[in-house]
Amino acid sequence: MKHKVAIVGAGQGRFGVREDASQRELAFEAVAAALKDAGTTLKDVDSMVTAVAADEFSFALQPSAQMHDYLEFFPKANFRVEGACASGSMALRVGWMTVASGLADVVLVLGAEKMTEVSTSQATEIMGKGGDAIWEYPFGMTFPGFYAMVARAHMAAFGTTEEQLAMVAVKNHFYGSQNPLAHMPKEITLEKALNSFMVAYPLKLYDCSLITDGAAAVILASEERARDFAKSPVWIEGIGTATDTMRIADRDALHTLRATVEAAKKAYRLAGIGPEEVDVATVHDCFTIAEICAYEDLGFCPKGEGGAFIEDRQTYIGGKIPVNVDGGLKSKGHPVGATGVAMAVEIMKQLRGECGSRQVPGAEVGLTHNVGGSGQVVGVTIYKKD
């Protein structure tokens, strides 16, 4: 790398059913917050990368152009990056590469999605197209169906229980209730989670993430420029991306995501740390079983012990590794193109000590984990306090 890369500004709008704003207005909201955080303006930004997962939510072939036009960012460079639900992390990676290569000194990374313009059934169908276009989607495969199979495989192999799945939801709603930008900022009980209606056995309503509108943005800067901004930078120390087969039938196991394991190895190696040195993490809890698998695949606990890990409250603040203390996708929401960028926003604020009642004391190293599709692409990023 030619340059070290830092996040110097971060912003997120409120996630939820945003009938008050279009996609481009959601983007403006997040970018304005990031610029204010950095103490700068768009005039100081050299280039822009935009993450949008699906044209069908945007009703536009060039949703990124719609947004840079609304921001009046022209004529500087902007282009779209897509990696399904990992689009935000892929855009962050491209922004990081742009700065690290010396092609630009200051880059804006934006993620935005407005999913509620379509019905729930239409949104489920659109997301189902993230599976194999010949062997899965045409036969009715949906993401709740896929993760239900993951849960059943994990239960069969390791004895994971429905109660342990529900404990993930209880934790994430507990912290989401303290996040004013969350889609569903309310606590739930274990009993309520277990008694909610079945979506795809064993996954119930509170095991599933939300269909959400929202946007998030971060501003990246080179080492030479990082201290020109209003607040202390947070450094991107490790970044890893890996892939897996498109068709899930071609994988060796369902209770693990090979792409997570490989992406984590790359990120840890580049950062020069191990999982035991991570102080706070945001992981891709699109379904509660996904968070349990992430504990294991990222090395926070041994394989097969993820259920016991949440049951022992090891992922609460005060436990071994606090995870998703912003509410995660489960409570904060999952506007797919924005999710990976919003994770980076949360970690930056944690490492700067700005998270109030859900602040992880003394956090100096953070990690984000973002899954695209059913694991076809995964991004893992490691951040360090200045």
- Output the CA–CA distances (angstroms, integers) from residue 306 to 30, 217, 231, in the order listed: 34, 31, 37
pLDDT digits (tens, 9 = 90+) for 237-290: 999 999 999 999 999 999 999 999 999 999 999 999 999 999 999 999 999 999
* pLDDT value of residue 306: 98
User: Max alpha carbon distance in the chain (Å)?
Assistant: 56
Q: For helices 120-128 and 143-158, give the axis angle rounded to 10 degrees.
A: 70
C-beta atoms surrounding 324 within 10 Å? 26
Question: What are the strands, taking DSSP E only, across 244-325?
Answer: 280-282
Specify the pLDDT at position 3: 81
334 catalytic residue (yes or no): yes
Q: Per residue in 56-86, pLDDT tens?
A: 998 988 999 999 999 999 999 999 999 999 9
Q: Has residue 39 got a pLDDT over 90? A: yes
What is the Cα–Cα distance from 134 to 131, expressed in whole angstroms?
9
pTM: 0.97
Alpha-carbon torsion 147, 148, 149, 153, what sign? positive
> Tens digit of pLDDT for each residue in 171-211?
999 999 999 999 999 999 999 999 999 999 999 999 999 99
The per-residue pLDDT for 181 is 98
Phi (first) and psi of residue 302, to 5 degrees: -65, 155
pLDDT, one tens digit per residue, over 320-358 is 999 999 999 999 999 999 999 999 999 999 999 999 999
What mean pLDDT is reported for the chain?
A: 97
> How confident is the model at residue 2, as a pLDDT?
66
Residue 85 bears catalytic tag: yes
Q: Which of 68, 183, 284, 334 is catalytic?
A: 334
Residues 47-59: pLDDT tens digits? 999 999 999 998 9
Residue 130 — very low, low, confident or very high, per pLDDT cuts 50/70/90?
confident
The dotted CATH code for 5-119+212-234 is 3.40.47.10
Residues comprising the chain, all counted? 386
Q: Mean pLDDT, to the nearest integer, of 206-229?
A: 97
Domains 5-119+212-234 and 122-209+236-385 share a fold: yes
At the topology level of CATH, where does 122-209+236-385 sit? Peroxisomal Thiolase; Chain A, domain 1 (3.40.47)
Q: Where are the domains of the chain?
A: 5-119+212-234, 122-209+236-385
Percent of the chain at pLDDT above 90? 94
Report the percentage of the chain scoring pLDDT > 70.
Answer: 99
Give the pLDDT mean for 295-322: 98
With a cut of 90, say whether residue 311 has pLDDT above it: yes
Q: What φ, ψ does residue 383 adopt, rounded to 5°?
A: -125, 145
Cα–Cα distance for residue pair 44/380, rounded to 1 Å: 28
From the candidates 85, 286, 293, 355, which is the catalytic residue?
A: 85
Please spell the DSSP secondary structure of 58-96, one letter per residue: HT-S-HHHHHHHHHT-TTSEEEEE-BTBTHHHHHHHHHH
Cβ distance 126 to 227 under 8 Å? no
Residue 1 pLDDT level (bands cut at 50, 70, 90)? low
